[in-house]
Chains A and B, each alone.
Chain A
Amino acid sequence: MSALLEVEDLHKHFPVGKRGLFGRPASWLRAVDGVSFTLERGESLGLVGESGCGKSTTARTVIGLQRATSGSVRLDGAELTHMTRAELQAYRQRMQMIFQDPYASLDPRQTVGSILTEPLIIHGIGRSRERKLRALALLDAVGLNPRHVNRYPHEFSGGQRQRIGIARALALEPDLILCDEPVSALDVSIQAQIVNLLKELQERFGLAYLFIAHDLAVVRQLCHRVAVMYLGRVVETAPRDDLYRDPKHPYTRALLSAVPVPDPRVEETRERIVLEGDVPNPSDPPTGCSFHPRCPERGNVPGDRCAVEIPALEELGARRLRACHLEADDGPRS
């Protein structure tokens, strides 16, 4: 039996700049440039990286908010990228999304009840009354008072709104939920509540998550496996514990070492790998390995291989993949 979600060599390019009124684009921004991963039932995969690395675009392309430029997205073995709208509709039920901004992701003019029943109406599930009862049950499942079903989003706090967003994603009883930075807009104390809720829902309903985040500590709390992205490509994939204990890609190492630790004793003693320079512009990526201009371990690769040849994502031990020209055991262990 195939995996729940298989993404293979996914590309999404956006046109940049236009010549004239109806002209062709001047260049293409390669937001997602050959991303592959799989996701099993009930598993959660973290997709981490800095802003502009294409992690959100990947999720939006997977769920069909944007059309893929090329590549394949298979849900339970069914190819989604070539489907018509009508064909997609059935698969949409099985794949839902949670958005980043709890203030922008709920229609301000609808009651919570209408927001939660909308997916049911669109997919023709139940009668009006049954849908209303389902809305109550959904609110209860995400830890909100079901009596507030007739209220409007602006009457809730940020954390409560995010719970409403989660309830909406649960309405169709999906197998897979794409979470696009669901906690990054929330305060620390609320963030922990939402992380715990997502974990609890996963256990209760056997959900699979594609969890997009830039916060490595949150990802560690929630994900079974982690894929690290840089400039539109996956540079490393590994089971959670392996990745955090022994990151193999220089970028992953830098990323992990940059996370501030809320403990002054640790902060005083540890050595940060501070990367030089900025993330390059994705519409004009460097040649070869796109990380090479900032890579602190570039000197360990003989010649100018890094600047010329794009490293392939290769197997590196059990369930670990890495895209780097370094020898497998090169570089410091953290």
Chain B
Amino acid sequence: MDPSGRWNLHVRDEERLLAEAAEYRGESLWQDAWRRLKRDRTAFWSMIFLAVFVALSLFAPLLPLPSPIALDLKAEPQPPVWTELGNRGFDYTFETDDDYKLAYWDLYWHDKRLVDVRKAVFGDWQTGRWFGTDSKGRDLLSRIVWGSRTSIWVAFAATLCSLVIGVTYGAFSGLIGGRVDNLMMRIVDVLYSIPFIFVVIFILTFLSEPRQDLETESLVDKGWVFFIVIGAIYWLTMARVVRGQVLSLKNSEFIEAARAVGASTARILFVHVVPNVLSVVIVYLTLTIPAIMLFEAFLSFLGLGIEPPKVSWGLLAVDGTDAINPIRTFWWLVVFPAGAMGSTLLALNFLGDGLRDALDPKLRGKH
């Protein structure tokens, strides 16, 4: 068909209009939400805080921190020292792969490269005992930063896992509707009714035996099993949330309008449904991430999560509670890990709150 059509619709000076139209660019709902989020100070600073925290944990090997696992068995927990900025105690050399295991644990190759950079830049300089040391003489600051890696990335990966399964499952179920929808949601109902704490404990206990054999053949990574198990639980609510949204969207007039011009189901799903569901999903994610972080801490607390020598915030909490005794209080072992975790969770909640307001079309006003 001729693009100008049989009606031969044209305006004068199309080219000029098209150029001028570029200056009348509208503000999309995403831009509008972003603008309003920036204006919400609590949410905005929470976001900055989280970004800094994520950056810290991402670049932990690059930072001049002491080794998180270097033991000093003769010493009992040392209180924080704020007078000494740093010292030249980081006397590791990294030549073979096993050298890294002395200062850290079995790192991924990219982390090893970051460690190399750190060694080249800072040499053997390391920070002092800013946060004190734990009962085995390990530097607490270093352990918190390295622990955040585990906690944040467990939360991130598990959330991603639940996001992918949940959104796909929920959107598909809602869009297809009818018997398929009915069946899919009954499956979710059944899964919901299983007490998952016990299932996870069971799976992890079950896996911990053969896991060690498998790991020597490097088939299964403990961390990944962990991510997937947690993600596989949290997708249930996500699927329900998304399905509910899709159901209400499915009958909205703009979806009908798209169907009336002959849009395919895939087009409707990806062009119209998903972008409109996304705002709800994002808000829900900010609630899922803290829940998963707490769950990880809980499992580590029970001894089912991350295993030493690796460190996570849950493990630090265990150390902290061990250090509470009536004779001497090693307060820093409780305050700093709890503070790190608490402030992160708080920031996430503030951000979620701000996002909910920013993404709510009703608060945008009518035009």
Contacts and interface: CB of A to CB of B under 8 A. Distances in A.
Interface of A: 21-22, 60, 63-65, 88-89, 92-93, 96-97, 99-101, 104-113, 118-119, 122-123, 125-127, 130-134, 136-138, 140-141, 146-152, 154-157, 165, 168, 171-173, 205
13 contacts: A21-B186, A104-B253, A111-B26, A118-B258, A119-B262, A122-B264, A123-B262, A126-B1, A131-B3, A133-B14, A137-B14, A146-B11, A155-B27
Contacts of B271: 107, 110, 118
A150 B257 contact: no
B260 interface: yes
A146 B17 contact: yes
B14 to A, nearest CB: 5
A171 B9 CA distance: 10
B3 A125 contact: yes
A100 B9 CA distance: 26
Nearest to B256: A65
Interface of B: 1, 3-7, 9-11, 14, 17-18, 20-30, 179, 182, 186, 252-254, 256-264, 267, 271-272, 275-276, 361, 364, 367
A148 B27 CA distance: 12
B261 A96 contact: yes
Contacts of B254: 104-108
B17 A99 contact: no
A134 B182 contact: no
A148 B24 contact: yes
A99 B263 contact: no
Contacts of B9: 134, 137-138, 141
Contact of A136 (B17, B257, B275): B17
B21 A136 contact: yes
Nearest to B5: A173
Contact of A108 (B25, B257, B276): B276
Given A151-B24, A152-B29, A130 B3 contact: yes
Contacts of B182: 21-22
A64 B263 CA distance: 12
A128 B21 CA distance: 16
Given A123-B262, A148-B26, A150-B26, 10 more contacts: A99-B257, A118-B271, A122-B264, A126-B1, A136-B17, A137-B14, A147-B17, A152-B29, A154-B367, A155-B26
A120 B183 CA distance: 37
A99 to B, nearest CB: 4
Contact of B253 (A89, A100, A110, A141): A100
A214 to B, nearest CB: 17
A154 to B, nearest CB: 6
Of A106, A131, A140, A154, most B-chain CB atoms within 10 Å: A154
A138 B14 CA distance: 12
Contacts of B272: 107
A146 B27 contact: no
Contact of A150 (B25, B259, B260, B364): B25
A109 B29 contact: yes
A92 B261 contact: yes
A89 B262 contact: yes
B26 A122 contact: no
Nearest to B261: A119
B26 A152 contact: yes
Contacts of A137: 9-11, 14
Given A134-B3, A148-B24, A122 B367 contact: no
Contacts of A63: 260
A56 to B, nearest CB: 11
Contacts of B252: 104
A126 B261 contact: no
Of B4, B179, B253, B364, most A-chain CB atoms within 10 Å: B253
Contacts of A64: 260
A152 B25 CA distance: 9
Nearest to B366: A154
Nearest to A129: B18
B251 to A, nearest CB: 10
Nearest to A119: B261
B27 A152 contact: yes
Nearest to B23: A147
Contacts of B267: 122
Nearest to B7: A173
A59 to B, nearest CB: 10
Contacts of A60: 256
Contacts of A89: 262
A122 B257 CA distance: 13
A288 B334 CA distance: 81
B11 A109 contact: no
- In the A-B complex, the 8 residue pairs with the closest CB atoms: A151-B26, A126-B3, A130-B3, A105-B253, A137-B9, A119-B261, A92-B262, A140-B11
A18 B264 CA distance: 30
Contacts of A109: 28-30, 275-276
Given A136-B14, A137-B9, A140-B11, A150 B21 contact: yes
Contacts of A107: 254, 258, 271-272, 276
B358 to A, nearest CB: 15
Nearest to A114: B271
A154 B254 CA distance: 14
A97 B257 contact: yes
A141 B9 CA distance: 8
A73 to B, nearest CB: 14
Contacts of A112: 26
A233 B261 CA distance: 28
A96 to B, nearest CB: 7
A328 B341 CA distance: 84
Nearest to A133: B14
A95 to B, nearest CB: 8
Given A109-B29, A111-B26, A147 B253 contact: no
B189 to A, nearest CB: 10
